[in-house]
Structure 1
Amino acid sequence: MTKKRSPWFWVPTLYFAEGLPYVMVMTLSVIMYKRLGISNAQFALYTSWLYLPWVIKPLWSPVVDLFKTKRYWIVIMQLLIGAGLAGVAFTIPADNFFRYTMAFFWLLAFSSATHDIAADGYYMLELSSGDQAFFVGIRSTFYRFAMLTGQGLLVILAGTLETATGLPPLKVEVEAQRNSIEQVAFNPTQFSALNETGETYFVSPESLAIPIGTIATADADSVIKLVEEWNIGQGFYSKEEKVSKDKKPGLWKKYVVIPLETSLKRLFNSEEKRVSAEAGNYAILPIQLSQKPDAGDRLVLNFGFDKGDNSIRLIHEYRYEFNESNWNKPAFAVVQLDSKLNKPTQASFVGRSGNIRFAWLVVFVVIATLFVVFHLYHRFILPRPASDVAAKSNGKGIWGEFLETFASFFRMKQLGAALLFMLLYRLAESQLVKMASPFLLDAKEAGGLGLTTGDLGLVYGTAGMIALTVGGILGGVVASRNGLKYWIWWMALAINLPNLGYLLLSVFTPDSLWYVMAAVVVEQFGYGFGFTAYMLYLIYIAQGKYQTAHYAIATGFMALGMMIPGMMSGWLQEILGYQHFFVWVMICTLPIFAVIPFLKIDRSFGIRENK
């Protein structure tokens, strides 16, 4: 008998490998296309469709159950993901790179979604219910580490490579100071061509001071419009396409949505959201090229935020193209303060002009190589559970077995209670998560708390992330001691009751950041802790012959339970206002407590045996 291998050897790496391709497809692809000059309208449209494989993965989840083993699907999909990443890498230099890389991103998306199905199924097969409960927080933590790696470390790597392969980086330090505000005039003709000798480089002021305060929004918008018109007119970049909106409401909106809005506004006596007439002060930053580039050359400069306080920001991230026809004219960037900023602070901005295609090629080659390593590692490290076999046919044939996986899910005992649990457990959270950041950022006259973007990053990106991780790990540990049945009530309270903090914030609108941080930390900790029960219940109802497919179907209902209420949350908030919206959120916490008594859960499920 072979010695059982500890889950610590494979759970962290398996779920890190599960998260990486998702963030590569959904987030990193957007950043890469932006850096390579694809328009916002174009890449937003096509990359949004890449989410489809994760939405419809329950449709082919029975295939993973019916053919081969879960272990087989994991190692093969990791190799296929590596091939897809390599395909993206080596088509980046091509002339029609957008078309080719999108094809490989589709391969990545379907491979990653299939890997998710197999990995979750393997997790349930190899681990006892107690170990599943214990490691549910660990797997979530390493999945989040993958998100942070994709959104942080890989972007830093690409930026470093850009810097190392091109002209010297353009660095600008911007300070928000307590000075009197003066009228900023936009006069591009005052800059003459530099025509330097020696090395080619980009030049701009090394530092920029912006007086703290607000100006009329209309004045800021008019200057920003002039800057955009200049940059586009000189060929530094092209105008973004806008999606037209129908002015005439459809029948649904005319006869259902508008009357419902009117009724809700009358019921809650809510006012229309006021658009702020004031915007943060701004400054205009000129950027020039030192000398004329060679004929046919295009020098690309990506200029964006580097580090510091996010309350100092660019109107948008700029991508300039300098060539022999426009090199002798300046390009401009608009740097604007958060309208709620009231203290001196600073931020750094950097422009990189390196070989952008080479930089992203290297990034994708690195991750492709990592997935080959994952493939080899998991091929030897993943245990071979005896239960990991293809589902046996009952004489119905492959097509009959395929349909049976879905039919058996919907024949489960207490299906109604299970579906209600999946759809309602996060009913309140699904709406809160969409409106929490806007509430914290919106001005107090609009019902928000008036935080700066820098404060929001501190509250959510640091304190909130730590609380979420700690809550998730602790939830797994305690669930493995007493089981799901014991903890489900406590965890339902943990994920719902802290939402009261946002209602209190909307009532008292405290000025102290500490009160806001405390509310966010409690809510994020409660979400991490309470989400454990949700994941364990999905595992519990998926048990049986087709547990891999059933778990995928359950996660489909999980996504549905987040998607539909989330879609309605912004509309409801605009009608009700923040305070009444958070009252509504608290009302939405109640239905799940009416469902839980009807759930039949084995008292021993989730309890970890002492080893």
Structure 2
Amino acid sequence: MKDNKKIRDPRFWVPSLYLAQGLPFFAVAIVANQMLKSMGVPNDELNHWTGLIGFAWVFKPLWSPFLELASSKKLVVVGFQVFGGLCLGGVALALHAPFWFAACMAMLALVGISSATHDISCDGLYIASLDEKGQAKYAGWTGTFFNAGKFFTTGGLLLLAGHFEKTLGVVPAWTISFCILAAIMVALGLYNSWALPTAKNAVTADTNAGAIARTLWEVIVEFFKKPGIWVSIVFIILFRAGEAQVQSIGPLFLREARHLGGLGLTTAEVGAVYGTVGTVAFVVGSIAGGYFTSWLSLKRAILWLILAVNLPNVAFYLLSVFQPTELSVIGVALSVEMFGYGFGFVGLILYMMQVVAPGKYQTAHYAFSTGIMQLGFVLFKLFSGDIQLSLGYQHFFVWVMLCAIPVAVLSQLIPMTARPQPEEAPAPQAVRAG
């Protein structure tokens, strides 16, 4: 009994749970782009395909209620951690197929669907297993270990891939890299099968697919009946206009040959500056942005937060103009950009929590909001490569900064507090960002 209690201690499972949430997400969002860049795929084509895979995170709220049909959240979490690991291993195998590109995209799509589904039960297990005090106590751990996934994939893994690209060649380098990711995910799944609390789903007479579908339809209808919801949707999507394009093209710009307007960095050098100092700057900026908004209030802070996300993109413009060779200079510029991104992105999270989500189905409507947030990222990512190839890197980064103008203007015209609901709803409860 003592051992069982120890296993249920959050210190033994929160880190492994959220590391497993972060690894596959960043493998699809960032690492796949770097792999495809090394394989010679053009910026527009690789962003088209990895952008389409991002739709898994857009639509995950639509199938999330049906996961309640499983006997426990732990079963779903562990199952998709192991399945996601096997799919990452499938990417490594696909690189050796004659039709390697199509095979890689198919396996990455499975990784995306698996990861998005895992996210739902991962957050649900966390909420169901901890009381409000525990949720608050370990909330910082969730973000820390999720971003540890980014630190590992875009830092350590890219450094390793860069080393093997030089010594073994591109295909063996990325085969090894994705095999490592696969092994870690499977190991996390096996560990979590031992460490995670069970978090059984409540089974009632009404728990069946038909009843869940009817409830889901009601939740969707109520979401789109919210006062001002279409303006809110436009605001959420536009908030990501510049940021999504920079996060998609920025790492590719670092890799691009200097005679084509890039900085000519190796895979390992991108890992050194983007996945290490860049990740740390993002985390510090996120914490600072939270305190800043808490001090000033969302209404008064929102314009500053939008500017924080977009103005540091001038760093990329300056890098494209001067094309410095010193890694330290590039690292400082990227740290400024990532700090601003982390600082300002808090504004979008709080807008969804405090303005869009409140009401009868607050938790579900927050999940819908995050899907719309991901839609904004995917839409602008899809066409970022086409725009960059049309404009060149310098003019592309000017375009990115101009993309901030519509959302900055809109932020001063729309309410920054929850609008009155059509009917009396329960008092809002705190919602944690996933």
Determine if the TM-score, normalized by the shorter chain, exceeds 0.5. yes
Aligned to 1:377: 195
TM-score w.r.t. structure 1 length? 0.50
1:488 equivalent to 2:302? Answer yes
Aligned to 1:527: 341
Aligned to 2:265: 452
SS at match of 2:227: coil
Aligned to 1:474: 288
Aligned to 2:367: 552
AA at the equivalent of 1:452? L
Higher Cα Rg, which structure: 1
Higher helix share: 2
SS at match of 2:163: strand
Q: Offset at 1:589?
A: 0.9
Q: In 2, Cα distance between the equivalents of 1:544 and 1:482?
A: 24
- Deviations along 1:21-49, one digit per CA (max 9) or x if unpaired, are 546788999999xxxxxxx9xxx9xx978
Shift in alpha-carbon separation, 1:467–1:148, aligned structure 2, 3 A: closer
1:80 equivalent to 2:79? Answer yes
Shift in alpha-carbon separation, 1:154–1:480, aligned structure 2, 3 A: same
**Number of residues paired by the alignment?**
397
Shift in alpha-carbon separation, 1:587–1:54, aligned structure 2, 3 A: closer
Using the aligned pairs only, state the percent identity: 33
AA at the equivalent of 1:59? L
Aligned to 1:328: none
Counterpart selection for 1:424 from 225, 235, 238: 238
Q: Offset at 1:102?
A: 11
Asked if the contact 1:78–1:372 (Cα under 8 Å) also holds between the matched residues in 2, the reply is no
Runs (5+) with no aligned partner, structure 1: 33-39, 160-303, 320-350
Asked if the contact 2:243–2:310 (Cα under 8 Å) also holds between the matched residues in 1, the reply is yes
Q: In 1, Cα distance between the equivalents of 2:305 and 2:157?
A: 35
AA at the equivalent of 1:584? W
Q: In 2, Cα distance between the equivalents of 1:30 and 1:505?
A: 20
Shift in alpha-carbon separation, 1:495–1:137, aligned structure 2, 3 A: farther
Q: Offset at 1:153?
A: 7.2
Aligned to 1:281: none
Q: In 1, Cα distance between the equivalents of 2:306 and 2:411?
A: 9
Shift in alpha-carbon separation, 1:451–1:91, aligned structure 2, 3 A: closer
Q: Offset at 1:590?
A: 1.3
Aligned to 1:143: 146
Aligned to 1:60: 63
Report matched runs for 1:235-250 at 5 Å: none
Q: In 1, Cα distance between the equivalents of 2:246 and 2:119?
A: 27
**Which segment is superposed worse, 461-470 or 520-529?**
461-470
Q: In 1, Cα distance between the equivalents of 2:248 and 2:272?
A: 18
1:306 equivalent to 2:163? Answer yes
Q: Offset at 1:523?
A: 0.6
Shift in alpha-carbon separation, 1:529–1:139, aligned structure 2, 3 A: farther
Aligned to 2:225: 411
Shift in alpha-carbon separation, 1:139–1:539, aligned structure 2, 3 A: farther
Q: In 1, Cα distance between the equivalents of 2:179 and 2:404?
A: 47
Q: In 2, Cα distance between the equivalents of 1:305 and 1:462?
A: 15
Q: In 2, Cα distance between the equivalents of 1:86 and 1:441?
A: 27
AA at the equivalent of 2:336? V
1:317 equivalent to 2:317? Answer no
Aligned to 2:415: 599
Report matched runs for 1:329-344 at 5 Å: none
1:583 equivalent to 2:398? Answer yes
Aligned to 2:5: none
Asked if the contact 2:281–2:338 (Cα under 8 Å) also holds between the matched residues in 1, the reply is yes
- Deviations along 1:103-135, one digit per CA (max 9) or x if unpaired, are 999887555422312334566786869x77x97
Aligned to 1:201: none
AA at the equivalent of 1:488? I
Counterpart selection for 1:461 from 255, 262, 275: 275
- Deviations along 1:50-90, one digit per CA (max 9) or x if unpaired, are 766434323212335x7589xx42x1212323553687799
TM-score w.r.t. structure 2 length? 0.68
Higher strand share: 1
